[in-house]
């Protein structure tokens, strides 16, 4: 077991180093500014090439992801929604959120958000006990609202630039900063040190299917209303990350003028997150 843990940690270290190298070499300014964005004639935000310098590759991966979504993930999500009633699906999401508490708490602390850290800890204690291991969100009814945090947001609060924009196979929209954060968060998750990789992948898979099931209509509507679906997803993702880094507070500038970031009901924008 100790040898397996050692090899797992080494793989994570190598991945994190590579990601940090990518971040150091590619990340730009601390955040978007109005000079980097323009409104195209179609009404879709046109992002400066400095933000999406590998758009051709990103579009290829985006098309691949859409193929998988159409023939694999969307049908699975629809089946998941038909088979499981709302209450059971809510319990699945509550349980997965509870498992992610250590990562959220660590990022709350690293951001110096002590009030939010107290809420996160209170939610874990209440939901793990009264909520039967996290199956029920008892803390929400007590006024402890759920919030999500990740290391990409933590880097953003310290002024680390996000660009270039990236599309990851299966995982979907990201940036150099957020990809680095995704890797670092694996170090912050204690569950990854005590269970097999297959269980962690299964957990991620269920999260993705649950998210997709909750947003079937929203995604279809977004597709219908988009002249360029790729550009639309890019704009919504970049703005959503600004909202998350600022904890939902209003800011003067957004990557996508005219978008509210409310197209989806969860904190991450991806067809499989």
pTM: 0.77
213 C-beta neighbours (distance < 10 Å), count: 21
98-147 per-position pLDDT tens digit? 999 999 999 999 999 999 999 999 999 999 999 999 999 999 999 999 99
The answer to whether residue 256 is domain-embedded is no
49-108 per-position pLDDT tens digit? 778 999 999 999 999 999 999 999 999 999 999 999 999 999 999 999 999 999 999 999
Rounded to 10°, the helix 216-224/229-245 angle is 130
The answer to whether residue 230 is domain-embedded is yes
The answer to whether residue 262 is domain-embedded is no
The answer to whether residue 258 is domain-embedded is no
Task: State how many domains the chain has.
Answer: 1
The answer to whether residue 272 is domain-embedded is no
61 C-beta neighbours (distance < 10 Å), count: 17
The answer to whether residue 97 is domain-embedded is yes
The answer to whether residue 23 is domain-embedded is yes
Alpha helices in 130-228 (DSSP H): 138-141, 151-157, 176-188, 197-214, 216-224
The answer to whether residue 191 is domain-embedded is yes
Domain range enclosing 107 = 2-28+40-245
């Amino acid at each position: 077991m100790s040898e397996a843990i050692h090899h797992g940690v080494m793989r994570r270290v190598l991945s994190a180093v590579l990601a940090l190298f990518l971040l150091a070499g590619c990340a730009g300014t601390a955040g978007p500014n109005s000079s980097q964005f323009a409104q195209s004639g179609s009404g879709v935000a046109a992002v400066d090439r400095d933000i999406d310098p590998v758009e051709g590759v990103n579009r290829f991966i985006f098309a691949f992801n859409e193929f998988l979504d159409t023939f694999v993930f969307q049908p699975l999500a629809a089946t998941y929604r038909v088979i499981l009633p709302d209450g059971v699906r809510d319990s699945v999401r509550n349980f997965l959120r509870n498992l992610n508490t250590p990562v959220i708490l660590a990022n709350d602390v690293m951001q110096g958000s002590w009030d939010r850290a107290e809420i996160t800890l209170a939610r874990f204690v209440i939901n793990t006990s009264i909520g039967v291991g996290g199956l029920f969100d008892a803390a929400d009814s007590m006024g402890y609202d759920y919030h999500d945090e990740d290391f990409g947001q933590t880097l953003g609060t310290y002024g680390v630039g996000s660009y270039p924009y990236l599309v990851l196979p299966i995982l979907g929209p990201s940036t150099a900063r957020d990809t680095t954060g995704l890797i670092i968060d694996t170090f912050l998750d204690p569950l990854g040190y005590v269970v097999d990789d297959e269980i962690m992948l299964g957990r991620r898979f269920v999260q993705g299917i649950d998210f997709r099931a909750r947003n079937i209509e929203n995604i279809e509507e977004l597709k219908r209303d988009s002249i360029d679906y790729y550009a639309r997803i890019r704009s919504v993702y970049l703005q959503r990350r600004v909202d998350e880094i600022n904890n939902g507070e209003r800011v003067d500038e957004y990557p996508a003028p005219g978008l509210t970031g409310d197209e989806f009901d969860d904190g991450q924008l991806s067809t499989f997150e």
